[in-house]
Amino acid sequence: MREPVLTWCVPLELLCSHPLPVSAFLKTQVKLYTYRACAGKDEMGKMVSVINTVDTSHEDMIHDAQMDYYGTRLATCSSDRSVKIFDVRNGGQILIADLRGHEGPVWQVAWAHPMYGNILASCSYDRKVIIWREENGTWEKSHEHAGHDSSVNSVCWAPHDYGLILACGSSDGAISLLTYTGEGQWEVKKINNAHTIGCNAVSWAPAVVPGSLIDQPSGQKPNYIKRFASGGCDNLIKLWKEEEDGQWKEEQKLEAHSDWVRDVAWAPSIGLPTSTIASCSQDGRVFIWTCDDASSNTWSPKLLHKFNDVVWHVSWSITANILAVSGGDNKVTLWKESVDGQWVCISDVNKGQGSVSASVTEGQQNEQ
């Protein structure tokens, strides 16, 4: 199977004969949909997925593509220095905007929450972060942030509850935080030397109000503790917290990788007290970090898998039940947690089946 593939990795076992604590219910394994795009015998129930293709007409490599909040618009960015926005409702593709403004390859785009309007952020090799806004039906550059000395690699909007805040990670090792203060003004806070050599990824923690979530009197903002995670070329993942004085402080260092951390992704909250972060690295490993209690600060890593090549990108589905990982092996693999807390991609490794190479078998101590 030498074709590029999207592997839907299996979970599982619907059954487990070990009694489990109630908290483990979350971790039931279930098999995902099966797809066979190639023609074969008429197997029961196997329907081909609908694949829409959007022709972006980018003239160079595409580096990122992001759906907006509702899945109606698609933003893409490319080495051709442009950011494009498409309307993809009902399987269509209408180019809404072709935004020029960067002077180098654009690495990432990120949509802000719709309550702030139609806002898109992009970051580029040209050391700039540009915030684009749709005003009266047209997209325009709303703000430009040029506070970095090197390529800006990652941008991520904070949970909407915190306001309109953008975190940017750069190859100059710094992380800057842009907060919209109104009337077209943005306030900048910079964390210098967040990571030595460079910062590759930033990801915000979901908004959780400490204590009980009582209905706040109107106009008063609840006291959120703002946190985000960053991954860098120092092989570390760092967790940052905003102090009462508004300054950002390094709260934790998560060490487990032996090479540059390429991406971090903080999982959306599903109402449980656990926090989960996924990280991937040049060392081919993907770790799942969990912290059981919001107030305690012990994070424990679990190795999801060791790939044969660099792993570049990890991302959680919106209900956090699937983690997608893309690596240098030209595949995107999907993972789900199993009943006994193991992360599974293949259901039955022991029988030597599967299209992933044999090295997968190590470290996969499966149920049974």
CB contact at 8 A, 99 and 132 = yes
Distance CA 326, CA 4 (A): 12
| Binders in 186-225 for other proteins, by CB under 8 A | 213, 215, 218-219
Under rule CB under 8 A, residue 36 binds other proteins = yes
- Site mask for other proteins (CB under 8 A), range 38-57, x = bound: x---xxxxxxxxxxxxxxxx
Q: Give the nearest distance from C-beta 250 to other proteins in angstroms.
A: 25
Find the binder of other proteins among 92, 114, 210, 273 (CB under 8 A). 114
CB contact at 8 A, 154 and 123 = yes
Find the binder of other proteins among 270, 292, 293, 359 (CB under 8 A). 270
Find the binder of other proteins among 102, 107, 165, 237 (CB under 8 A). 107
User: Can you spell out the DSSP letters for 250-284?
Assistant: EEEEEE--SS-EEEEEEPPP-SSS-EEEEEEETTS
Tokens of 68: 């907006």
CB contact at 8 A, 248 and 193 = no
- Site mask for other proteins (CB under 8 A), range 218-237, x = bound: xx------------------
Under rule CB under 8 A, residue 361 binds other proteins = no
Tokens of 89: 């409702």
Amino acid code (one letter) for 208: V
Helix (H, G, I), strand (E, B) or coil at 25: helix
- Site mask for other proteins (CB under 8 A), range 311-350, x = bound: -xx-xxxxx----x-xxx-xxxx-----x-----xxxx-x
For residue 228, CA distances in Å to 12, 206, 237, 249 come to 32, 9, 10, 11
Q: Of 174 and 345, which has the nearer Cβ to other proteins?
A: 345
Find the binder of other proteins among 35, 147, 208, 303 (CB under 8 A). 35
Q: Give the nearest distance from C-beta 252 to other proteins in angstroms.
A: 26
Under rule CB under 8 A, residue 15 binds other proteins = yes
Under rule CB under 8 A, residue 10 binds other proteins = yes
Q: Any idea what the Cα angle at residue 260 is, between residues 257 and 266, rounded to 5°?
A: 70
CB contact at 8 A, 245 and 267 = no
CB contact at 8 A, 105 and 68 = no
Q: Of 252 and 279, which has the nearer Cβ to other proteins?
A: 279
Under rule CB under 8 A, residue 306 binds other proteins = no
Count of chain residues binding other proteins (CB under 8 A): 118
| Binders in 135-154 for other proteins, by CB under 8 A | 135-136, 151, 153
CB contact at 8 A, 345 and 335 = yes
Distance CA 125, CA 149 (A): 10
Under rule CB under 8 A, residue 359 binds other proteins = no
Q: Of 115 and 358, which has the nearer Cβ to other proteins?
A: 115
Q: Give the nearest distance from C-beta 68 to other proteins in angstroms.
A: 8
